[in-house]
Amino acid sequence: SLLFPVTHLWPCPAFPKALQIATETNCITEFLQESESQLRKVKQMEKQGLLYGVPISIKDSINCQGHDSTLGFIKQIHKPAAEDSVVVQVLKRQGAIPFVKTNVPQSLISYDCNNLIFGQTRNPLLFTRSPGGSSGGEGALIGGGGSILGLGTDLGGSLRFPAAFCGICAIKPTGNRLSCESLLWSLPVAAAVGPMAKDVESLALCMRALLCEDMFSLDSTVPPLPFNEEVQSLQGPRDLWGELQAENTSPMGGHLARAKCCFPDSPRGVGVLLAPLAPLQPASPSPAGVFHKTLLDFSRIRPDVACWLLPEKSQEPSWMPKESLSTPTPLTTSTFPPQDFRHQFIAQWNKLNLDVLLCPMLGPALGIGYPAKLSVAISYTMLYNVLDFPAGVVPVTLVTDEDEEQLKGYKGYYRDWWDRTLPKAFRGGVGMPVAVQCVALPWQEELCLRFMKEVETLSLKKNSFF
Catalytic residues: 59, 134, 158
Q: Strands of 354-360's sheet, edge to edge?
A: 28-31, 97-102, 55-59, 149-154, 192-197, 169-172, 391-398, 433-440, 354-360, 269-272
Q: Which segments within 348-412 are labelled E, that is strand?
A: 354-360, 391-398
Which H or E run includes 115?
A: strand 114-115
Q: How far apart are CA 268 and CA 74, in angstroms?
A: 51
Q: How far apart are CA 270 and CA 373, in angstroms?
A: 34
| Distance in Å from the first CA to the final CA of the chain | 24
Task: Give the torsion through C-alpha atoms of 364, 380, 359, 226, to 10 deg.
Answer: 110
CB 302 within 8 A of CB 286: no
Residues 6+ apart with CB under 8 A from 106: 71, 72, 73, 114, 115, 116
Helix axis angle, 338-351 to 287-301, nearest 10°: 40
169-172/192-197 β-pairing: antiparallel
Point out which residues pair with 219 in neighbouring strands. Answer: none
Write b or e for each residue in 255-282: b if 16 or more Cβ atoms lie within 10 A of its Cβ, otherwise e. Answer: bbbebeebbeeeeebbbbbbbbbbbbbe
Q: How far apart are CA 199 and CA 142, in angstroms?
A: 11
Q: How far apart are CA 167 and CA 178, in angstroms?
A: 24
What amino acid is encoded at 465 in this protein? F
Q: How far apart are CA 367 and CA 428, in angstroms?
A: 9
Q: How far apart are CA 6 and CA 452, in angstroms?
A: 24
Residues 6+ apart with CB under 8 A from 129: 122, 123, 165, 364, 365, 366, 367, 368, 429, 432
CB 198 within 8 A of CB 211: no
Which H or E run includes 94?
A: none
Write the burial class of residue 74 (CB in 10 Å: 0-12 exposed, 13-18 middle, 19+ buried).
exposed
Candidates 278, 308, 275, 270; CA nearest to 458 is 270
